Structure 1
Amino acid sequence: MKKILTLILVAALAVSCNSDDDTPSGGTGETFPMSATVDGQVFSMGPENGGNLSDPSGGMFGSEYHLLEGHKLVNIVGALTSKEPIVQYDYYVRLAIPKTDIAVGTYDFTNPQLPNGYFADLEITSDSAGEGEDEVTADGRIIVNSWDSTTGRLKGTFEFTTNDGLTATETHVVTGSFNYILADE
């Protein structure tokens, strides 16, 4: 009888635990705050320094924004033989979230970025290949699914396309989700 009662108690505890917000606000959990799919390739991404905190400096977008950055180092083995060197590419997905008037909703954007507007960027670099790719965001959307102003937790999804900046030819399709704590300055 004790075994059955213990089993029921353990099952009840397991069901009642909510893993949705399992990363502490300090950003020390093992989960990744961003998941991105670039041209069908799925990446779990986080800031280069780890955690799940936004960059309140706004990074390349400026101090009026929270920067949500996902980073993933990808190793690609040479195509002809297994003896070819591994080429490393750094993928960066960056989302600009305005610091004012954050609310649940859908925010469409085009290039150039509008003042106080949501925006997204893809950067692919490679030190080992000697170059990366020049990518320019064409258009897209950021959907804020939930915003808790008390905890600073922002969750949502994004989708955008890029081109080479010279033609309108689409070069990458990027989709994904995010779950960050917007850090104070």
Structure 2
Amino acid sequence: MNKVIKIALFSLVLAIVSCSSGDTVEASDDTNPTTPTVAMTTEIDGVDYDTPPQIGGNLAENSGGASFGGSDYYLLKGYKNLNTSKSAFKVGNKIFNIYLAIPKNDLSVGTHSFSSTFTTGDYYADLDISGVIPAENVNTISGSINVLSYDASTRLLKGTFVFTTDDGVNLVDPSHFIVGSFEYKLP
């Protein structure tokens, strides 16, 4: 797919995902808001994956860690191991790790854009791809997170996200397109 088509496709997906239901925090209408079926679903390069936290459940991390703003952030993590085979002859597992950093001081319904660098106080998303040879150290190019609702009583946060990354080699052109949704309980 050429660069113009990729950019047009990304723009269309961004426009669809960025539609918000309003600027107020909405209450959740789930019958059991703390245990969704899957905490994060993701489409990576046109393929759908369930990408819940590696440890299961839907609890966000209270600290974004050193890479994502530390204790000033909630960290929503998604994980997918594409090859669970335990074959002794296997060389590497392709593993996707998705990270969404949500600032604690600006938890608001609406669309929050981010750029290629993590900036203190902003929302951010990142994709790590491991277990492939050669290694693919991708970098986020651009995207956004759309917080659809946050219920303060159940602490349930719902939203969508879309972003592009490079392939770790060509640092300008988008190589990976990531679209997803999340439903996490904040600590």
Same structural fold, with TM-score higher than 0.5 when normalized by the shorter chain: yes
**Whole-Å Cα distance in 1 between the matches of residues 183 and 163 of structure 2?**
18
Paired residues in the alignment total 154
Match of 2:77 among 58, 69, 94: 69
Counterpart for residue 163 of structure 2:
160
Which AA in structure 1 matches 2:154?
A: T
**Whole-Å Cα distance in 1 between the matches of residues 121 and 43 of structure 2?**
26
**Whole-Å Cα distance in 2 between the matches of residues 23 and 32 of structure 1?**
13
Answer 1 or 2: which has greater strand percent: 1
Residues 48-100 of structure 1 deviation map (CA, whole Å, 9 limit, x = unaligned): 111000011213312211000000110299xxxxxx84752111111000011
**Whole-Å Cα distance in 2 between the matches of residues 167 and 91 of structure 1?**
19
CA contact (8 A) 2:39 2:58 kept: yes
Shift of 1:162: 0.4
**Whole-Å Cα distance in 1 between the matches of residues 170 and 118 of structure 2?**
17
Are 1:36 and 2:42 an aligned pair?
Answer: yes
Counterpart for residue 177 of structure 2:
173
Residues 127-179 of structure 1 deviation map (CA, whole Å, 9 limit, x = unaligned): xx555310100100000000112211110100000012653021200000000
Superposed counterparts of 1:4-153, under 5 Å: 21=30, 25=34, 29=35, 31-59=37-65, 60-61=67-68, 62-75=70-83, 85=90, 87-126=92-131, 129=132, 132-153=135-156
**Whole-Å Cα distance in 1 between the matches of residues 31 and 130 of structure 2?**
31
Shift of 1:101: 2.6
Question: Could you list the runs of 5+ residues in structure 1 that have no partner in the other structure?
Answer: 1-19, 78-83
Which AA in structure 2 matches 1:48?
A: Q
Which AA in structure 2 matches 1:32?
A: V
SS in 2 for 1:63: helix
Which AA in structure 2 matches 1:152?
A: R
**Whole-Å Cα distance in 1 between the matches of residues 64 and 159 of structure 2?**
18
Shift of 1:23: 5.3
Q: Larger C-alpha radius of gyration, 1 or 2?
A: 1
CA contact (8 A) 2:164 2:176 kept: yes
Q: What's the RMSD between the two structures over aligned residues?
A: 2.4
CA contact (8 A) 2:36 2:58 kept: no
Shift of 1:24: 5.8
- Identity across the alignment (%): 40
